[in-house]
């Protein structure tokens, strides 16, 4: 390449560099017309101007940058009291809803009315009430024993699918958003006091909580930190785990089962009777609370001669609330004729309650003996909850909600950046991260791979937030740095915060 060609190329590139440098330095650059470029181009020999490779370096027109699209330095101002009160009301309401829904489900599940009308399990095997609800087997925790309705298979499956989409998946998305806000605020508080790794900052600030963030958080937890920072990282770790396992737990606590009826073998051997009908209150053997006696004369010895049916009335309390058979024995009792009569008898015994069906008695001993029982499929399905899984879920969710709400209040009261409204989001975190990386690695990093950048950033150590105070007419600046910054982050209302200046040594 001859000297004329080299000089022409140098002249063209230098002219473009001068123009771009002027644009970078001046926020309101003057209009650059076509005449300047034409003047430069006229100095180039004709054989060079016709070259395809060099024609790309000669734009026909450069449009000025719209200064209105750039943001000016900003100062912090206190939010109105009404806005702050509304924010706290909304946060508290959301926390109460997150706690209240599972508690409402647990209360509904604890109602005996909806526990079904049979002791037959979903596999068609009879089990007593204690075995169904209080089995010591670990797998019994997931037994669907709080059931509703008589449904077709398709309907039961549809209800379970709706539960999975709404409560499990949408609930996980809501929890992911909540934990991202809380974890990011906690990260701000930590970085105001102590450096953290680039990996931890990018994991918690650029994406929602997931299993992938467990590694950086766990690694940071076992570094040398104060107990307050360790507690913040511990709760961040619990937040990530709770969000990750939310759909698994909520799906495990629900399901649908095939409905089975329990048949009881009739004592005379003529067949079976439906357990629901046989064990109803209409078949109770005796419904009474008292005894006939030989008379009603004061200060006389009374002889109990048999049972009598009593009914409750105003201001009258029955001795026992269950209909049971009381076997009377001959004995004596003493009472005084007053407004409130008291009977005493030390020879009374209370047997098991039983049911009377087709002139035969049936006690609880028969209902707990599989030899007298048979489970029959009905062809319908029931949807419901696993009692113990729902109970444990409600307890854990309540602990998580209370702890996360307390953490949110703590970081918003203690974090200087949160109090000024400069909370972390994906764009805010990306700007802070890129600014710090450019400061540590320079601007010639476009060709480096992900692994190469990670290796270089690991050598820089941790990053934390800093504030470069304003100097004269220059605005102050907030950012993150790997430098050896000391002291807490301090921000002032009314001061302008803007672009990054050359850091002081």
Q: Which two tokens stand for residue 89?
A: 């009301």
pLDDT of residue 471: 77
The pLDDT confidence band at residue 32, using thresholds 50, 70 and 90, is very low
pLDDT of residue 324: 40
The torsion angles phi and psi of 385, rounded to 5 degrees, stand at -120, 155
**β-sheet with 254-265: strand ranges across:** 146-151, 373-385, 254-265, 272-274
| H/E element, 497 | strand 496-497
Helices (H) and strands (E) in the chain, counts: 17, 12
pLDDT of residue 322: 37
Radius of gyration over every alpha carbon of the chain, rounded to an integer in angstroms: 40
Residue 481's Cβ-side half-sphere holds a number of Cα atoms within 13 Å equal to 18
| Contact criterion met (CB below 8 Å) for 265 and 373 | yes
B/e letters for 352-386, b = 16+ CB within 10 Å, e = fewer, are eebbebeeeebeeebbbeeebbbbeeeeebbbbbb
DSSP annotation string for 103-126: HHHHHHHT-GGGS-S--B-TTS-B
pLDDT tens profile 210-221: 888 888 899 989
The pLDDT confidence band at residue 456, using thresholds 50, 70 and 90, is very high
Helix, coil or strand: residue 486:
coil
Three-state SS across 9-45?
HHHHHHHHHHHHHHHHHCCCCCCCCHHHHHHHHHCCC
Mean pLDDT on 71-94: 80
Q: Is the pLDDT of residue 74 over 80?
A: yes
pLDDT of residue 250: 92
Q: Is the pLDDT of residue 289 over 60?
A: no
Burial class from Cβ neighbours inside 10 Å (0-12, 13-18, 19+) for residue 495 reads: middle
Report the distance separating Cα 380 and Cα 150, nearest Å: 6
Report how far apart, in Å, the C-alpha atoms of 241 and of each of 175, 204, 209 are. 11, 14, 9
pLDDT of residue 77: 83
The pLDDT confidence band at residue 277, using thresholds 50, 70 and 90, is confident
Cβ neighbours, 10 Å, residue 252: 16
Residues contacting residue 76 through CB under 8 Å, at least 6 positions apart: 420, 421, 422, 491, 492, 493, 494, 495, 497
Q: Which two tokens stand for residue 404?
A: 């996360």
The pLDDT confidence band at residue 116, using thresholds 50, 70 and 90, is very low
pLDDT of residue 147: 82
Q: Is the pLDDT of residue 3 over 60?
A: no
Percent of the chain with pLDDT over 90: 22
pLDDT of residue 118: 53
Residues contacting residue 346 through CB under 8 Å, at least 6 positions apart: 331
Q: Report the sign of the C-alpha dihedral through residues 173, 179, 182, 185, in that order.
A: negative
Q: Is the pLDDT of residue 185 over 90?
A: yes
Q: Is the pLDDT of residue 428 over 60?
A: yes
Mean pLDDT on 253-277: 80
Mean pLDDT on 453-457: 92
Of 43-57, 190-204, 442-456, the least confident: 43-57
The pLDDT confidence band at residue 370, using thresholds 50, 70 and 90, is confident
Q: Which two tokens stand for residue 149?
A: 């309705």
pLDDT of residue 280: 72
pLDDT of residue 340: 47
By C-alpha distance, which of 343, 345, 365, 346 is closest to 354?
Answer: 365
Mean pLDDT on 423-452: 91
């Amino acid at each position: 390449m001859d000297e004329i060609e080299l000089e022409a190329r140098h002249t063209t590139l230098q002219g473009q560099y001068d123009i771009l440098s002027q644009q970078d330095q001046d926020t309101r650059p003057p209009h650059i017309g076509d005449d300047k470029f034409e003047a430069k181009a006229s100095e180039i020999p004709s054989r060079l101007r016709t070259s395809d490779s060099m024609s790309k370096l000669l734009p026909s027109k450069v449009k000025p940058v719209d200064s209105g699209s750039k943001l000016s330095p900003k100062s912090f101002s206190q939010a109105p009291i009404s806005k702050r009160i509304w924010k706290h009301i909304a946060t508290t309401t959301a926390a109460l809803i997150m706690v209240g829904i599972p508690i409402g489900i647990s209360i509904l599940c604890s109602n005996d009315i909806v526990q079904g009308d049979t002791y037959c399990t979903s596999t068609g095997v009879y089990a007593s009430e204690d075995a169904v609800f209080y089995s010591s087997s670990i797998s019994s925790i997931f037994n669907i024993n709080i059931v509703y309705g008589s449904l077709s298979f398709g309907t039961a499956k549809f209800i379970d699918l709706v539960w999975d989409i709404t409560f499990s998946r949408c609930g996980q998305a809501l929890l992911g958003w909540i934990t991202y806000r809380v974890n990011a605020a906690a990260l701000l508080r930590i970085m105001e006091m102590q450096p953290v790794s680039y990996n931890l900052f990018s994991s918690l600030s650029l994406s929602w909580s997931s299993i992938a963030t467990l590694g950086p958080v766990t690694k940071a937890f076992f570094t040398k930190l104060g107990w307050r920072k360790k507690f913040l990282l511990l709760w961040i770790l619990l937040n990530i785990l709770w969000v990750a396992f939310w759909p698994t737990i909520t799906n495990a606590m629900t399901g649908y089962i095939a409905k089975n009826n329990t048949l009881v073998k009739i004592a005379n051997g003529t067949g079976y009777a439906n357990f629901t009908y046989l064990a109803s209150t209409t078949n109770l053997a005796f419904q009474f609370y008292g005894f006939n006696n030989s008379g009603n004369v004061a200060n006389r010895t009374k002889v109990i001669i048999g049972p009598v049916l009593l009914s409750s009335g105003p201001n009258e309390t029955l001795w026992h609330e269950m209909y049971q058979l009381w076997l009377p024995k001959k004995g004596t009792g003493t009472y005084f004729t007053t407004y409130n009569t008291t009977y005493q008898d030390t020879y009374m015994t209370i047997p098991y309650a039983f049911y009377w069906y087709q002139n035969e008695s049936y006690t609880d001993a028969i209902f707990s003996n599989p030899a007298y029982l048979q489970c029959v499929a009905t062809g319908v399905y029931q949807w419901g909850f696993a009692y113990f899984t729902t109970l444990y879920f409600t307890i854990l969710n309540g602990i998580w909600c209370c702890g996360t709400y307390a953490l949110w209040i703590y970081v918003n009261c203690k974090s200087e950046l949160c109090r000024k409204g400069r909370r972390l989001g994906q764009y805010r975190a990306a700007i802070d991260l890129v600014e710090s990386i450019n400061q540590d690695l320079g601007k010639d990093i476009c060709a480096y791979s992900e692994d190469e950048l990670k290796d270089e950033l690991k050598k820089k150590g941790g990053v934390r937030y800093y504030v470069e105070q304003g100097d004269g007419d220059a605005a102050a600046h907030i950012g993150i740095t790997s430098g050896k910054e000391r002291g807490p982050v301090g921000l002032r209302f009314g001061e302008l915060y803007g672009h990054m200046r050359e850091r002081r040594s």
